[in-house]
Amino acid sequence: MDGIISHYGSLEPNTLVAFGLLLLFGVFGGVLANRVSWLPTISAFMLIGLVFGPHGINIFTESILLESELLVDIALGLILYKLGNMIHPRHILRNKTLLLTSLLETSLTFFSVMFIVMACGYNVAIAALIGAISISSSPAVLVHVSEEMKAKGPVTERTKSLVAMNNIISFLCFTAMLPFALSVKKVSWVEILLLPLYRFVIAAAIGVAVAWISTRIASVLRYRDEHYHFTIIAGSIALALGLSMMFHTSLLFSMLTLGVATRGFEKSHAMISTTGLSEGADLFFIILFVMAGAHLNIGAVAVAGFLPFLLVLARIASKFVGIFGVKNRCGHSIKECAATSLLLIPMAGMAIGLVTTLRNLVPEFGDQVSAIILTMVVVFETIGPFVAVAAFRLAGEAEKLDAEENVLTT
């Protein structure tokens, strides 16, 4: 046996083994969550990832996580695309109340986080970057929990728009602050100013161009060709991701732009933005959240200090103050405002993506920002699913499934 092993190499899990375990045990986690009333499926997925990840029994090794990044990019890209579909550019510009709400709560988040970081001794550039990243909210938690609970209603739809706008504003603020971080490197001011502009313009251009192509193709389909809608969506996401990698621009922003632009370009007789993901959505959610759990390093939380936890509280308070600040103007009830505020709390994908970008461009700042933001993400990823479930129940927009579940489990 030793001879055979030495001939073929060590018997280490490869990417396909890890991928199979990821899906099968991810499903097991989802089934377990359905049996435990207080446990959201996202938390179960992440727990599976944590157990099998580098900080658990190490089936999902660091090299496998690295090789699986493309799968995570596709999963997150699809979720951001679907979130972007929920925003019609003209409707957002006409909805002044929604714009005011978004600007108020994002501004409060940015400045409160920035001032606290500065008060703890960090320089303005690092504080501004952390503030910009903290604006973002997790579309994956919102979309998955809303679909799992079959949540429908004004709070759900309004919050989806706010989460999409949070991520857009977060990216724009991060891009605006990036030149201050790049100034520590020995490069010309032309490069410092042009690189963030390049990343923004090219990412937006890729999203718009691919959206135009996909909607033109969808417009020639007839009624019996509607089964091609998902293929068009998958092709659009793959093309946009590939072009973003080719031109070294933001994958996340190009995906969000793709979703928004698709909604803006499409005609009423060819609505690909309304195409559901059906059972296939579970595949992408399992990939995303199991991998997120595998990346969690609980030990890093202990060495990050008290600052990330202070910023968690500041960010939560800013979201609540921002939403309740326009309560009278919007005419929303206290429950609706509280539910909306809770749904804005989860933070993950965009934040991780922006930290990775900063690490690649400015390692001097990336390590400092990463320690703080990733600790915040651990906290928000842990409480996020529970908070989202509570929010939908508070809003009264979650479908009552208790009777059905009792029948299925007997």
pLDDT in tens, 30-63: 888 777 766 777 778 878 888 888 888 887 778 7
Q: What is the DSSP letter of 296?
A: -
Give the model's confidence band at 147: pLDDT under 50 very low, under 70 low, under 90 confident, else very high.
confident
Q: Is the pLDDT of residue 385 over 60?
A: yes
Stretch 2-27: mean pLDDT, rounded? 67
Quickly count: other Cβ atoms within 10 Å of residue 388's Cβ: 28
Q: Is the pLDDT of residue 198 over 60?
A: yes
Structure tokens at 371: 């320690």
Q: Find out whether 171 and 357 touch, Cβ atoms under 8 Å.
A: no
Stretch 242-269: mean pLDDT, rounded? 86
In percent, how much of the chain has pLDDT > 70?
A: 86
Q: How far apart are CA 260 and CA 253, in angstroms?
A: 11
Please name each of the domains of the chain with its CATH number.
2-409 (1.20.1530.20)
- Of residues 8 and 288, the one with the higher pLDDT is 288
Please state which of the ranges 66-70, 222-226, 290-294, 400-404 shows the lowest mean pLDDT: 400-404
Please state which of the ranges 65-74, 255-264, 303-312 shows the lowest mean pLDDT: 65-74
Q: Is the pLDDT of residue 402 over 50?
A: no
Stretch 178-193: mean pLDDT, rounded? 73
Q: What value does the mean pLDDT of the chain take? A: 81
Structure tokens at 153: 């209603």
Q: How far apart are CA 104 and CA 319, in angstroms?
A: 9
Q: Which of 89, 102, 159, 153 is nearest to 326 (CA)?
A: 102
Q: Which of 220, 218, 258 is nearest to 239 (CA)?
A: 258
Give the model's confidence band at 349: pLDDT under 50 very low, under 70 low, under 90 confident, else very high.
confident
- Of residues 22 and 315, the one with the higher pLDDT is 315
- Torsion angles phi and psi, residue 239, rounded to 5: -65, -45
Q: Is the pLDDT of residue 5 over 50?
A: no
